[in-house]
Amino acid sequence: MDIPHTVEARPDTGLYNAKVGIWLFLASEVMLFGALFSSYILLRVGAEAWPHGLLSVPIGTFNTVVLITSSITVVLAWASLKLGDLSRFKLYQGCTVLLALTFVAVKSFEYRDKFTHYYVRLQDGTELNGHLAGNPLNWTAANLADTNRVGASITFHPDAAGGEGEGAHGGHAEPIELTAANVAKLESWGPWRSTYLAIYFTLTGLHALHVIGGALVIAYLWGPGSRMWRSDPERFTNRVEVCGLFWHFVDLVWIFLFPVLYLL
Amino acid sequence: MSEHHAHEIRQATRKYIYVFLALLLGTVITVVAAYVPFGSRSLNVAVALLIASAKAFLVAGFFMHLISEKKLIYGLLGATGFFFAGLMFLIVWSNADQFLSIFR
């Protein structure tokens, strides 16, 4: 059975069906991210203090440029198909996949940076933020009390500023030794650490899932999916356009996420 | 494919490159503006959101072809925009005191 209106426009809408479909989907996506953005506003306005400088602006700027560049390669790939040039399409769309992978790799690096950055409260009430020697991932006080490490200690390098935020990317103060006996609380800067980190991980995590999903579809159309170019080139071009619309939306969301989470 | 059609696509491609350059410039302006003290943080927030909106307009208008789209899509997005605005205003109304305190 043939799916109707994959190439020719429906007389009543003036559009091929997949285009109406993707816009309906994007409308639902606007509401999904809109709900999370409004949650962000609610949390920020209601917070007594909002941290600044927890994220690296150069890294965030780099990822913004990566996504913007991937948007232009997507649209140039589609334009190449319109000009009947499959090899150029492959070149541009291949670049898009690489850029998407770069974005996800950088994001993973940023996430790892948070899960290896720690808040510690000592038994005497002193509160510190910093790094553990060897940068272990997501430790808690339970790791210090590990029976296999009885009597052992781990070196902690406090941030120079001492408080959250300002010293996140600065130098370190004098190191101290942590043991199960002198630590009351130890936790990484995961989503549980603060309201800001909770909404940061929620928004960027959902966005990263969109990047991964979009990259998978783009990679499919670049690889095995491109066989359709030989049998039905116009339909294939429309598939690439629809996929591109989703990708631009992902870029558009990041355009707002970047200043909201990294700069303000 | 007609020569006229190919010419149109090539023209559009040039436009995409200009939009891309404008987006890069917008990113630089966003970062620089974040470090400029406008007097209050709320003003910095407003400026950043204004630049982000301009960049979003470029992406949606040119890369997503919304500048010349069919009526059905405009209708669909109009309805989405209405509910999205509602979502944002609900938050503002529920926190009117805090929001007003920004301007005091």
Do both A256 and A181 map to the same domain?
Answer: no
Q: Which structural domain, as residue segments, surrounds residue A255? A: 17-44+52-113+194-263
Return mean pLDDT, chain A: 91
| Contact yes or no for B20/A68 (Cβ under 8 A) | yes
Looking at residues A231-249, what average pLDDT do you find?
A: 96
Tell me, what CATH number does A60's domain have?
1.20.120.80
pLDDT of residue A239: 95
Mean pLDDT value of segment B41-66: 93
**What is the domain partition of chain B in residue ranges?**
1-68, 70-104
- Verify that A155 and A199 share a domain, yes or no: no
At residue A46, the pLDDT reads 84
Inter-chain residue contact B64 with A245, CB threshold 8 Å:
yes
- Residues sharing a CB contact under 8 Å with residue A35, sequence separation 6 or more, in sequence order: B87
Q: What is the pLDDT of residues B21-39, one digit of tens each?
A: 999 999 999 999 999 988 8
User: What pLDDT shows up at residue A211?
Assistant: 98
Q: List chain B residues with CB under 8 Å of A38.
A: 87-88, 90-91
Band of residue B42 on the pLDDT scale cut at 50, 70, 90? confident
Which residues in chain B are closer than 8 Å to A61, comparing Cβ atoms? 27, 31
Q: Do the Cβ atoms of A197 and A161 come closer than 8 Å? A: no
Examine the fold and report which residue of A170, A188, A206 is the final residue of a domain before the chain moves on.
A188
- Predicted-complex ipTM score: 0.90
Over 80: is that where the pLDDT of A152 sits?
Answer: no
pLDDT in tens, A159-204: 886 455 544 555 677 899 888 888 999 999 999 999 999 999 999 9
Mutate to test the interface with B, among A12, A80, A82, A260 (most CBs of B within 10 A): A82
Tell whether the model's pLDDT for residue B17 goes beyond 60.
yes
**Domain count across chain A:** 2
Least confident of A48-52, A229-233, A241-245: A48-52
What average pLDDT does the segment A90-114 reach?
97
pLDDT value, residue A199: 97
Q: Is residue A25 domain-shared with residue A101, that is, in the same domain?
A: yes
Residues A23 and A108 in one domain: yes
Q: Residue B48 is nearest to which of A14, A38, A264, comparing CB atoms?
A: A264
Residue A7 maps to a domain:
no
| Cβ atoms A213, A164 nearer than 8 A | no
Number of Cβ pairs closer than 8 Å across A and B? 123
Q: Give the C-alpha separation, A172 to A174, whole Å.
A: 7
- pLDDT of the residue at A56: 95
